[in-house]
């Protein structure tokens, strides 16, 4: 009963006033009291409010909250005195047991189980190792089979096989078997990798083989509107089953027609459109054997115009242009651009650049004082786009002030004395036949021409005709007689001088034979 007697003492001491300042520390002090009383449980299991009820009976006026706080304080002082000799004894926590390793887990299922070979009594299958093996490794594989329609699985290998290929022997001809492969490790059996379809146990006459034409081994490109007719031969015995896929999906019978025979398969599209482009896959299957071939069909058309065209700058006789690629490339690569210019006065377009590969260009040799507008076409393997991008801005080629001074040239004196460039030649004429004498002369100013016979000036005799044209001088003698023969002279004269040229004319008489004279 020491607790009731000690209850009034805390009223005189300052301890109760300090207790509210640290209310969290009061419940921790009763722990030595429990040890001093000989309690075997740890301090954490001893509830702090238990010593309080005896202290509340004599002190009725003290609030319950203060009584609960004061009692542990006195008990702590008494307990501390009694428990002082026991301080060297420290309770040690027992060591924790080591964490056990996680149990081993099975591997993932084997992948891509397929038939490698089959005959009348055996079946050989291949597969791919699982993606996830785990820390416990892989012990091997178990191959199991059963007849189609039953669930009686038979283990083909008595011992685990480490390879990814196994031959199941001693089978019955004509059976239809399902096969599965299970990976085994310390964690147990994995999920089975199952063969896609049941396999008939029989000899295959000829395995399926697609003989892809050389022109179809690469990308097959055709224009929009063209007719597609692809003939793909294949081998296989008995007659293979042929199937087609486009981008992994069945063909649209409204767009694509397929005709299969025992030797080839024909893919036919009457009018190709861009949506017919894609990866076509042909599969030829005989029992569990199959062969696949892929054809990439690309339907192309003319591209759209460049998305935009901008006149960046103009200076001197030049203009800088910039444009962006077309949004619609025609389902093929852009091979170049065509740049054209037009003078606003005439409106005629002229090609400046053709098959140009860049997106910027400088147009030069523009005419001063003219205003130009530009346009650009896109090009691909089909041709040039029907539409074009036209620049909104125009290029004004400004006139520059140029002071021109004409050069001064000295005057040239073209005066020249007459000179005969073609002389007169001696001639022989026949009596009664008109003849003509010719020569040519030059001179500046234009010389005056005068003809003479035997140094006598020929006047206005109607027998003679004198002509002079562009320096060509001629004397025509009409029906000369024997008296017209002699020396003829042509004289040319101007302010600078004169020149003469002469020739001898002989007029001959025609002598007739005596018989002709008598007649």
d(CA 426, CA 485): 11
**Residues 421, 488 within the same domain:** yes
**Residues 390, 313 within the same domain:** yes
Q: Write the DSSP assignment of 75-86 as a string of letters.
A: HHHHHHHHHGGG
Please determine, for residue 283, whether its predicted confidence score (pLDDT) is greater than 90: yes
Of the candidates 385, 321, 312, 383, the residue with the CA atom closest to the CA atom of residue 352:
321
With b for 16 or more beta-carbon neighbours within 10 A and e for fewer, the 165-189 pattern comes to ebebeebeeebebbbbbbbbbebee
- Last residue within a domain, chosen from 245, 275, 300: 300
Contact (Cβ atoms closer than 8 angstroms) between residue 427 and residue 437: yes
- SS3 for 334? strand
d(CA 46, CA 62): 25
Please determine, for residue 221, whether its predicted confidence score (pLDDT) is greater than 90: yes
The answer as to whether 519 is a domain residue is: no
**Residues 215, 295 within the same domain:** yes
Q: Where are the beta strands (DSSP E) in 393-485?
A: 395-396, 416-422, 427-430, 435-444, 448-453, 456-457, 464-469, 472-477
The answer as to whether 266 is a domain residue is: yes
> At CA 465, angle to CA 462 and CA 469, rounded to 5?
155
Instruction: State the CATH number of the domain containing residue 494.
Output: 2.60.40.10
Q: What are the residues whose beta carbons fall under 8 Å from the beta carbon of 340, sequence distance 6 or more?
A: 349, 350, 351, 352, 374, 375, 376, 377, 388
d(CA 234, CA 265): 8
Query: Parallel, antiparallel, or unpaired: how do β-strands 111-118 and 123-128 relate?
Result: antiparallel
Mean pLDDT, residues 421-442: 93
Note the pLDDT of residue 412: 85
Note the pLDDT of residue 405: 84
- Last residue within a domain, chosen from 70, 86, 102: 86
Mean pLDDT, residues 177-200: 90
- Last residue within a domain, chosen from 49, 70, 86: 86
Q: Give the containing element (helix H, strand E) for 64.
A: helix 64-83
Of the candidates 88, 74, 65, the residue with the CA atom closest to the CA atom of residue 15:
74
Q: What are the phi and psi torsion angles at 432 (to 5°)?
A: 90, -5
The answer as to whether 277 is a domain residue is: yes
**Residues 193, 222 within the same domain:** no
Q: What are the phi and psi torsion angles at 416 (to 5°)?
A: -150, 135
The answer as to whether 103 is a domain residue is: no
Cα 354 to chain centroid, rounded? 21
**Residues 479, 421 within the same domain:** yes
Q: What are the residues whose beta carbons fall under 8 Å from the beta carbon of 134, sequence distance 6 or more?
A: 104, 105, 106, 107, 185, 187
Dihedral sign of CA atoms 155, 156, 158, 160 in order:
negative
| Residue % of the chain over a pLDDT of 90 | 55
**Residues 486, 472 within the same domain:** yes
The number of folded domains in the chain is 5
Note the pLDDT of residue 21: 41
135 secondary structure, DSSP code = T
Please determine, for residue 23, whether its predicted confidence score (pLDDT) is greater than 80: no
Q: List Cα–Cα distances, 366 to 266, 329, 351, 362, in angstroms.
A: 58, 31, 13, 11
**Residues 279, 325 within the same domain:** no
Query: Parallel, antiparallel, or unpaired: how do β-strands 188-189 and 427-430 relate?
Result: unpaired
Provide the pLDDT confidence category of residue 51 given band limits of 50, 70 and 90.
Answer: very low
**Residues 122, 159 within the same domain:** yes
Note the pLDDT of residue 62: 39
Note the pLDDT of residue 204: 77
Mean pLDDT, residues 205-214: 88
Q: Is the pTM of this model over 0.75?
A: no
Contact (Cβ atoms closer than 8 angstroms) between residue 204 and residue 224: no
Provide the pLDDT confidence category of residue 35 given band limits of 50, 70 and 90.
Answer: very low
Give the chain's mean pLDDT: 82
pLDDT in tens, 71-125: 444 443 444 444 445 555 666 777 777 777 778 888 999 999 988 888 888 999 9
Burial of 163 (0-12, 13-18, 19+ CB in 10 A): exposed
Provide the pLDDT confidence category of residue 390 given band limits of 50, 70 and 90.
Answer: very high
pLDDT in tens, 113-165: 988 888 888 999 999 999 988 778 888 999 999 988 888 899 999 889 999 99
Q: What are the residues whose beta carbons fall under 8 Å from the beta carbon of 137, sequence distance 6 or more?
A: 185, 186
Count of CB atoms situated within 10 Å of the CB of 388: 20
Note the pLDDT of residue 7: 40
**Residues 151, 173 within the same domain:** yes
The answer as to whether 515 is a domain residue is: no
d(CA 247, CA 295): 11
Count of CB atoms situated within 10 Å of the CB of 454: 9
The answer as to whether 341 is a domain residue is: yes
**Residues 504, 420 within the same domain:** yes
d(CA 466, CA 484): 16
pLDDT in tens, 493-519: 999 999 999 999 999 987 767 666 565
Of the candidates 192, 194, 195, the residue with the CA atom closest to the CA atom of residue 182:
192
**Residues 420, 504 within the same domain:** yes
**Residues 422, 502 within the same domain:** yes
Cα 510 to chain centroid, rounded? 99
Please determine, for residue 37, whether its predicted confidence score (pLDDT) is greater than 90: no
The answer as to whether 127 is a domain residue is: yes
- SS3 for 518? helix
The answer as to whether 452 is a domain residue is: yes
pLDDT in tens, 405-428: 888 888 888 899 999 999 999 999
Weakest mean pLDDT among 169-173, 328-332, 346-350: 169-173
Question: Domain span at residue 421?
Answer: 416-508
């Amino acid at each position: 009963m020491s607790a009731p007697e000690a209850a009034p003492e805390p009223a005189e001491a300052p301890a109760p006033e300090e207790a509210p300042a640290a209310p969290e520390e009061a419940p921790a002090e009763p722990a030595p009291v429990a040890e001093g009383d000989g309690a075997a449980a740890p301090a954490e299991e001893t509830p702090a409010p238990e010593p309080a009820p005896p202290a509340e009976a004599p002190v009725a006026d003290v609030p319950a909250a203060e009584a609960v706080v004061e009692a542990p304080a006195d008990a702590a002082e008494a307990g501390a005195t009694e428990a002082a000799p026991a301080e060297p004894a420290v309770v040690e926590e027992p060591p924790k047991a080591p964490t056990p390793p996680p149990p081993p887990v099975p591997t993932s299922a084997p992948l891509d189980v397929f038939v490698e070979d089959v005959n009348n009594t055996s079946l050989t299958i291949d597969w791919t190792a699982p993606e996830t093996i785990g820390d416990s490794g892989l012990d091997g594989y178990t191959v199991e089979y059963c007849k189609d329609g039953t669930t009686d699985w038979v283990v083909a290998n008595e011992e685990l096989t480490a390879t990814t290929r196994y031959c199941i022997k001693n089978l019955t001809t004509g059976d239809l078997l399902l096969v599965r492969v299970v990976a085994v490790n310390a964690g147990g059996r994995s999920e089975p990798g199952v063969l896609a379809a049941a396999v008939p146990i029989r000899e295959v006459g000829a395995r399926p083989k697609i003989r892809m034409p050389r022109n179809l081994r690469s990308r097959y490109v055709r224009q929009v509107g063209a007719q597609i007719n692809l003939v793909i031969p294949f081998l296989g015995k008995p007659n293979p089953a042929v199937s087609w896929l486009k981008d992994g999906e069945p063909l649209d019978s409204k767009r694509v027609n397929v005709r299969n025979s025992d030797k080839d398969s024909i893919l036919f599209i009457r009018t190709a459109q861009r949506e017919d482009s894609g990866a076509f896959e042909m599969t030829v299957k005989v029992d569990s054997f199959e062969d696949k071939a892929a054809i990439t069909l690309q339907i192309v058309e003319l591209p759209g115009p460049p998305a935009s065209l901008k006149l960046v700058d103009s200076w001197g006789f030049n203009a800088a242009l910039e444009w962006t690629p077309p949004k619609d490339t025609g389902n093929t690569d852009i091979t170049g651009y065509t740049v054209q210019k037009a003078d606003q006065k005439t409106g005629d377009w002229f090609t400046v650049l053709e098959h140009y590969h860049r997106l910027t260009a400088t147009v030069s040799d523009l005419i001063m004082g003219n205003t130009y507008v530009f346009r650009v076409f896109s090009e691909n393997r089909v041709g040039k786009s029907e539409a074009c991008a036209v620049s909104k801005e125009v290029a004004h080629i400004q006139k520059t002030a140029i002071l021109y001074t004409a050069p001064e040239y000295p005057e040239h004196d073209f005066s020249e004395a007459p000179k005969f460039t073609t002389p007169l030649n001696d001639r022989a004429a026949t009596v009664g036949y008109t003849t003509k004498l010719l020569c040519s002369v030059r001179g500046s100013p234009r010389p005056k021409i005068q003809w003479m016979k035997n140094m006598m000036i020929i006047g206005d005799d109607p027998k003679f005709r004198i002509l002079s044209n562009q320096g060509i001088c001629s004397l025509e003698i009409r029906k000369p007689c024997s008296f017209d023969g002699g020396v003829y002279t042509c004289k040319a004269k101007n302010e600078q001088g004169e020149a003469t040229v002469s020739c001898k004319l002989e007029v001959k008489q025609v002598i007739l034979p005596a018989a002709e004279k008598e007649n």
